[in-house]
Each structure stands twice: as C-alpha cells, then as structure tokens.
Amino acid sequence: MATQVQFRRGTTGETAVFIGAVGEVTVDTDINTVVVHDGSTAGGFSLARNDGTNLELSPGSLSSCALRFASDANTGIIRTGPDTMSLVTGGVARVTIDSSGTSTVTGNLIVTGSITAQSGLIQGDVIPLILALS
C-alpha cells in the first residue's frame, strides 16, 4: 500500500490568522490552494493555482507598481481608482484608462500609421497622421 502524506488544512479564515513554522505548508480548503509559511507572517503566502482563479493584485502605487519588473518597482501597472488602471514608467502614470474607456496620455503620443475614428466627427474615416501630439 502507498504512503499518504497529509498537510495541515483549514478554511480561509483559519489560514488568515495561522502562523506556521518556517517552511511549513498548509492547505486552504475554501479556495483549494497551498500556503507556504515563514514562521512570522499570519496567513503565510498562497501559491497560485494552475487556473489562476486565486490571483489578485494589490492596487499598487506610482513608486511600487502592483505588477512590476524586477529591480524596477516604479514601472508597471497600478489601479488608480475604481475600474481605472494606469501604465506607469519611472513613477509617472503615462497611460490611464477609466471605466468609460477614456484613455489619458501623459507625455508624447507617437503613432506610426493611421488613426481610424469609430465615432465622433469623422466616423469611419481613416485619418493620415500628420501632426505631432504632445
């Protein structure tokens, strides 16, 4: 007969307050994920599920983006408000998209090619880009 190994397990609420030993692994039975503990952090650190359904990002900030690059914390993506996100470089929100779909660009906008208007003054027309926007 095969050997069975069983880890500590508990609900999300129980896991959130549990401080496991350094390197201890537990199972959150509510969200079906594994949690690794460091001996001091309540709740430990959840591992990502294969389908990604337990992944969430913090809102982040201009100096510490929620989704960022190694050794470059102020470049990435942040949530700037309800249903609003920004692409950040060098600690500045360069492109912000709000819940209505309005995009705001800070800095220069360089387009190679043409712009097609889907609504507004020139609906459906292709406009050759002949001006520099800044």
Q: Note whether 80 and 88 are within 8 A (CB).
A: no
Cα–Cα dist 101/109, whole Å: 17
Reported as a single tens digit per residue, the pLDDT across 11-55 is 999 999 999 999 999 999 998 899 999 999 999 999 988 888 888
Tell me which H or E stretch contains 27: strand 25-28
For residue 125, what pLDDT is reported? Answer: 54
Residue ranges per structural domain of the chain = 1-56, 67-105
Q: Note whether 88 and 74 are within 8 A (CB).
A: yes
Reported as a single tens digit per residue, the pLDDT across 94-103 is 999 999 999 9
Longest CA span, the chain = 76
* Mean of pLDDT over the chain: 86
Q: Does domain 1-56 have CATH number 2.10.70.10?
A: no
Give the highest mean pLDDT range of 46-55, 60-69, 104-113, 125-134. Answer: 60-69
Q: What is the dihedral of CA 109, 111, 115, 118, to 10 degrees?
A: -50
